[in-house]
Structure 1
Amino acid sequence: MSSQTTQDLVSGLESKPTANGLSLGVYPDELAISVEGRHMQLERCQSRRDQLTKMREQLVEYGQRATSVPRLYLVAKLAGCDVLHFAQYHSMLGAHRVAVSAGQLYPFGSPSAANSARKHGMLPHRTGCFFCPCCVAEQLRDVGASWYMRKHHIEGVDWCPSHKVRLVQNHAKDPFATRPEDWVARQATSLEHLVEPVVVDEFQARYAEIFMQLLVRPSPMEARVLNKLIGDRFGYARATGMTSHKLLSDLVLSMCDSAWATEHFDTFDCKREGLPFGPLDNVVACRSTYVTGTAYALILTSLFANRKDVDAAFEVATLSGKIDSAVIRGERTSDRCESTDSELWLAYIGAGGNHSEVSRQMKCSVASARYRLVRQGLPALNGIARSPARWRALSRFWVGEHLASACLAEAVDQACLERILRVCCTRVERAVRLILFGRRSTRKAKGTTRGQKAAVQNR
């Protein structure tokens, strides 16, 4: 089925209460399959197949065509949520699909991402059903009901990131259809007896923090951009002596507990020091290849000191598709550019059209400065310093000289200038003149423009 057909079906869904007249709703950080399990309890469904049939009857009137709508989208509408919001904050698509190829950059929960929603939308990131007894006690105290949370189903996180206690596994036949407090009551025990504090090392704590941030991303990143970020960061770490490892997998192996990594990361037991390990080293070796979410989380945990540094790097990569050197070095600046348009214009001229230099002058992030400048029609003019002849030829053309003669005078390729002219606006023309010749030369050039135009007309 095409994405357009899926879009028609999804837009036709209407949120409704259950057959019992009860509103399903959704709890904070609740796992999508946990929402589905509560619906199964409310409707007293005998099986998942029976439940799926009832969901379609309650939500749509499209007959057999509705079978192509992913379960994740049906559960979202049943819970009264926007599908995009539900996919971002209640599924684990952010862990399953950290990076994808350029042709698959669709927001989680969108009609174009229906195939990935069918495959991973209702799946936890780790096998099994887990809960934290401390979280359940707080849920019962504050809400009067308990649910299963996404942060308890991350591969490699066997403990609750909030309370630092070991997670308890629900071993029921259909565990997500059984609330945590009901399962505890059947075991003839109490939540207090299930509390088991654990000591978490620094690497694993940072791993959990970074992975939880990946979970709330609205869409995957492009593999080429993320892999370049990782490659540049690893190259910078080697160049500055932060690490002596020549392989990215050796760096990961040296920083994490090998027994923990072997338990939670497929084939990690095959890794040998000094030998390439494809699931990790391919990220640097092949920029277009994307690996599992667990592999990306291990790599990011090894390269960055905390979640905020990862956020800053992701922000730049997402907005511009390029990795700024300041992010690679770990420099921290203000996230927002508070300067006025006039201040940005003066900084832009003073910096020679260099966006990174503008951000340093304005003391803001490169992403923020680039966003403001591009909106004003001011692209990066870093090439002025490297190839001034090209821009001098453009200036000749802008003051009235024929393009071919301008290119001949400055010995530049005419086709290159034509490509620049297609994307330049009048503000770029003025900026180039100011950068190359200054204000006096610009006024002189304006006078020359009238003289040259008259000469052209007299011909």
Structure 2
Amino acid sequence: MLIRPSIFTDELDRGYFGRLMRMNGVANTADMEWLIEAWAGMSNEPPSKHLNLQHLSSIANVGSCEFIGSHTTIPFYEGISSLRGWELSQRHAFSAIGYTAFSHLDWGFACKQPFLCKSCVESDMHLYGQSYWRRSHQVPGLLWCPEHKSSLSWPDDIHWFNRSPAEAIDVATSYDSETVRDALSNSHIVRYVELAFKLLERKSPFDAESVSNTLRAEATKQRFFMWGGRFSINHMLHDAEWRFGRKWLDRVMPLYTNRKKRIDFWCSRYVGTFSVEQRQASFLMECLVASTLLYESVEEALTQLGRYNPSPAREERQTPFLLNKDELLQTYILTRGNYRRIEENYRGRSTRSRIWSGLCELGLPHLVEGRGKSSLRALMAFYLEGLSVADSAEVGGMDQEEMESLLRQCSFLLRNVLKEIDGNRDNAQAEH
């Protein structure tokens, strides 16, 4: 006989499974799975048919759609998905009206560490005489209890889900109060948390391709460098570390533990590159962090992510605009080598990647002036005045390593190009 307790509001599926174990006097998960299989009349079925969310929802006397939508973290972790309907995964399926689950329960959706709020545990013990693991405490990057605004705590092992949170209080580690205060005062972290909870409440996922296209377009509009293909936050990491702080970002986008290599990412908003250790994160986490950076409010982010923005079908794509090298060369001269002004000249006719690639093929580097640096003055000193690399770097406010890197990007065309730029400047001064 199986004791079937009612499920609490916001109780996590994995925590409910552990509570079933305790109430039925079962010591390990394998025995509990066998007991559930026997209760469901599936003890003679092949293993692929064993324990699933539908069984747990039946035990809790809750519909499958409601169970997955209210008691699992699936709506969050699969909130941006490239698959639809029955093909979404082997664990569950989304639809416009809700969720249905017929196959394996994958505990991988549970956090690697079970989080709890001590105030919630005390309240549960007072109201119910027992405590339970809450789903709303398991969102990655959440440091505080949404209800009490107090620090979350966690024991060191995921197997604590099999035991009561009340038992874990004495051995749990807590975030220090200063860290939690800093997070609560950080508008970007708060906005990320709000966006994460909105995902938990959704009844269907955002389309991954559409979200990727939307974020890439918005990031490009805000002067972040973006490659084609699927959206990646790599070239926004400098802003992410600045806005969120390194310690918080390490929790949702940890560094690769098995790699020591540092990666240089080109940053359009700043001069040069930004060096960071390579980070690992799911596409979902990249999208959530990026959305918080790109949009001013949760409502704006949800509106933009919800607009269907598919990639054009291959047969519908227009023939790409072919850059005329002579025209590109003249534009480079007129804009004094400023890539961004060149982009404006070709707006609507070509893409950033094609323009930058064309300029790189011609050996014409991005000439930057500002913040005490001028790659244009440095190159003129080297090519037109015959100064040494070190002296030219000093003229341009650069160090020698930066100057050498700049020279490696230059072709034989640049000397004549610089002469024309210098001539245009002299003519403009003469006219005034």
| TM-score normalised by the chain length of structure 1 | 0.52
Mapped partners of 1:298, 1:92: distance in 2: 18
Give the equivalent residue in structure 2 for 1:305: 296
Match of 1:259 in 2: 247
1:119-146 CA-partner distances (Å, limit 9, x unpaired): 7x43355321120112223333444432
Give a deviation string over 1:249-289, Cα, whole Å, max 9, x none: 4433332212321343133795655359999999xxxxxxx
Using the alignment, how far apart are the partners of 2:247 and 2:176 within structure 1?
24
Query: CA shift at 1:68, angstroms?
Result: 2.0
Give structure 1 stretches of 5+ with no counterpart. 1-18, 240-244, 283-289, 323-459
Deviations 1:84-125 (A, max 9, x none): 221122111233223332466649733999999747x43355
Aligned match of 1:295: 286
Question: Relative to structure 1, is the Cα distance of residues 216 and 179 closer, same or farther in structure 2, using a 3 angstrom cutoff?
Answer: same
Alignment map for 1:110-149 (pairs within 5 Å): 110=93, 118=104, 121-149=106-134
For residues 18 and 25 of structure 2, the distance between their equivalents in structure 1, rounded to whole angstroms, comes to 10
Report the counterpart of residue 209 of structure 1 in structure 2: 194
Change (3 A) 1:250 1:118: farther
1:109 and 2:85 matched: no
Q: Could you tell me how far 1:223 is from its partner in structure 2?
A: 1.5
* Distance change >3 Å, CA 221–CA 277, structure 1 → 2: farther
Amino acid at match of 1:300: S
* 1:36 partnered with 2:17: yes
Equivalent in the alignment of 1:223: 208
Query: CA 1:147–1:272 in structure 2 vs 1: closer, same or farther (change >3 Å)?
Result: farther
1:47-446 to 2 correspondences below 5 Å: 47-61=28-42, 63-65=44-46, 67-102=48-83, 106=88, 109-110=92-93, 118=104, 121-171=106-156, 174-184=159-169, 196=177, 198-199=180-181, 200=183, 201-238=186-223, 247-267=235-255, 270=262, 272=264, 274=266, 291-317=282-308
Partner amino acid for 2:307? V
SS in 1 for 2:214: helix
- 5+ residue gaps in structure 2? 225-232, 267-272, 312-432
The 8 Å contact of residues 12 and 134 in structure 2, kept in 1 or not, is answered as yes
**Alpha-carbon separation, structure 1, partners of 2:119 and 2:177:** 10
Following superposition, the deviation at residue 44 of structure 1 comes to 1.0
Alignment RMSD (CA, Å): 4.2
SS in 2 for 1:64: coil
**Which residue of structure 2 aligns with residue 27 of structure 1?**
8
Instruction: Kindly state the Cα deviation for residue 147 of structure 1 after the two structures are TM-superposed.
Output: 1.1
Distance in 1, Cα, partners of 2:73 & 2:40: 23
SS at match of 1:305: coil
TM-score (norm 2): 0.55
Match for 2:210: what amino acid? V
Change in CA separation of 1:152 and 1:206 when aligned onto 2, cut-off 3 Å: same
Cross-structure match for 1:46: 27
- Residues 310 and 38 of structure 1, relative CA distance in 2, 3 Å threshold: same
User: How many percent of aligned residue pairs carry the same amino acid?
Assistant: 15
- How many residues align? The count is 285
Distance 2:297 2:278 in 1: 20
Inter-CA distance 272–263: structure 2 relative to 1 (3 Å threshold): farther
After TM superposition, give the deviation of residue 148 of structure 1 in Å: 0.9
